[in-house]
Structure 1
């Protein structure tokens, strides 16, 4: 590169042709024009699986007059981000049609785990021009077993996964296979990397149970319920939604005697939040009240509140458990018939939520219920 900068006549040669007309003077650390003799230049071998080094070597065999690495990556005045892209622009790389056809042909007899093994083999040992394109066009074949495995794992035929969750789980499986071969998806720059939080969700039975809803049906139901809210309910409803949407958290208490529409308000909130794909934890202090909530549970059951409480009690939920991840993901907690439990139960839940939430937000330890939006409801005249 330095010689190309200094001597215009050197710019007509490629790197491997350079020794035919120029001599390297080791003591002087520079090139000089060759007066006599003949030499053959060569460039060290690079394995095709070496990534960018391989594509750099390919370019050095055809690019002349390069004065910098950026110049090597420049084709017809356009500087490309990688050497591979430059090779592709020069037409040095063959298309990936044979790898697409290999996966398509194998899909007629092979199962998804076998196809993922084949995909990894192609990535490692073959020259794939665009790994991301190979993934995008064949991800359905590579993830065909994901939903079946999750339903079998949790023994629930009604589990539903989003396209993003299915893709992430398949990418996670591919990453594990690559790791066994001392490789990673990060070695293939254009390939997406699995979102580990989504992989964790697809492995968490509690989160899956809280997301097994028909979003379109819930959205329609929420719209109908919103139309039936009276002015006071509507005011409370929009204040709670604002706290959720702005993630500012807060504790609300809805006080009203029986028959004033507290359960109607709970149903509207639950339908609206779940229709947006978020998680709502709906609990009640008594089993009868929990039956009135969609997918409701008793408070002691959901939060594992100890039967015998004191002023220092905590719930039996530790960081890292499936229930802890469910609480971290929840956007709203509704607690009906709240006045029917001792204050030590609220304090236990408060301490537990602060402890769980501080792993994702350090300031949560200083906020009520770890910064969650919590709606309490009940009637003090009933106790």
Structure 2
């Protein structure tokens, strides 16, 4: 009898065999197996016989148990990388969601960077897109304190500052540029200062502006409409014109 035949199956190897034989098992990730199967003395997975039926799969039952799935150390390279193939980013998504729920915006960039460096998620860009507001919350709050009279919201400058912080942390942890792992490249020159002027010009609500224009455009007088049309035409043509408006302060305002 050769060595391979004498070697007992590990839980991971047995899972591979199970997937060849069991259609339902092929729908699972390895960490989910103990919810539907039990590890028996024959070194194999067997379907659970109690608990809740799974719709569409006769004979399959789910238990809310926290079963034990043994980890695979990196030193066992073949098994380690095979296990990686069975994983997705759902666990890192859940980790970020929990961090956001705890309302710790100052700590969230550190958590996100740790996931990037230590856990190597498959799609970092999707995690960033989903949680960028939470990751940028502290920066927005700082900008709002600097400019209390402006209705600042999340914008490109805010996100850019967050990316710079994350990239700095990533480098400190031994990583490289964010671009190398598929994240947007932060613009460090543009983010040298988050000035009130930049905040004012980039923080606005398109919906509110459209509503304001729709309401007030019909109220313009003939001369006002002429000036309004001239400014719009210059803007749309990128002409860079200069306009002088003669509007004495004493003149009665008309609506």
- Range class of TM-score, shorter chain: 0.5 to 0.7
Q: Indicate the residue corresponding to 2:229 in structure 1.
A: 238
Q: Is structure 2 residue 177 aligned with structure 1 residue 184?
A: yes
5+ unaligned residues in a row in structure 2: which ranges? 1-73
Counterpart CA distance in 2 for 1:148 and 1:259 is 40
Q: Is structure 2 residue 116 aligned with structure 1 residue 123?
A: yes
Cα deviation for residue 185 of structure 1 reads 0.3
**The one of 152, 171, 175 aligned to 2:163:** 171
Q: Indicate the residue corresponding to 1:219 in structure 2.
A: 210
Q: Indicate the residue corresponding to 1:193 in structure 2.
A: 185
Q: Is structure 2 residue 84 aligned with structure 1 residue 95?
A: no
Cα deviation for residue 95 of structure 1 reads 0.7
Cα deviation for residue 171 of structure 1 reads 1.7
Asked if the contact 1:94–1:129 (Cα under 8 Å) also holds between the matched residues in 2, the reply is no
Asked if the contact 1:96–1:128 (Cα under 8 Å) also holds between the matched residues in 2, the reply is yes
Structure 1 residues 162 and 139 mapped into 2: Cα distance closer, same or farther (>3 Å)?
closer
Q: Is structure 2 residue 125 aligned with structure 1 residue 132?
A: yes
Structure 1 residues 175 and 238 mapped into 2: Cα distance closer, same or farther (>3 Å)?
same
Between Structure 1 and Structure 2, the one with more strand by share is 1
Structure 1 residues 217 and 105 mapped into 2: Cα distance closer, same or farther (>3 Å)?
closer
**Rg larger for:** 1
Counterpart CA distance in 1 for 2:101 and 2:207 is 34
Q: Indicate the residue corresponding to 1:148 in structure 2.
A: 141
Q: Is structure 2 residue 237 aligned with structure 1 residue 253?
A: no
Alignment of 1:53-132 (within 5 A): 92=85, 94-109=87-102, 111-132=104-125
Asked if the contact 1:93–1:129 (Cα under 8 Å) also holds between the matched residues in 2, the reply is no
RMSD in angstroms over aligned alpha carbons? 3.8
Q: Indicate the residue corresponding to 1:32 in structure 2.
A: none
Counterpart CA distance in 1 for 2:149 and 2:220 is 35
Counterpart CA distance in 1 for 2:148 and 2:222 is 41
Cα deviation for residue 214 of structure 1 reads 5.5
Q: What is the aligned residue count? A: 176
Counterpart CA distance in 1 for 2:106 and 2:91 is 20
User: What secondary structure does 1:253 align onto?
Assistant: coil
Counterpart CA distance in 2 for 1:194 and 1:185 is 8
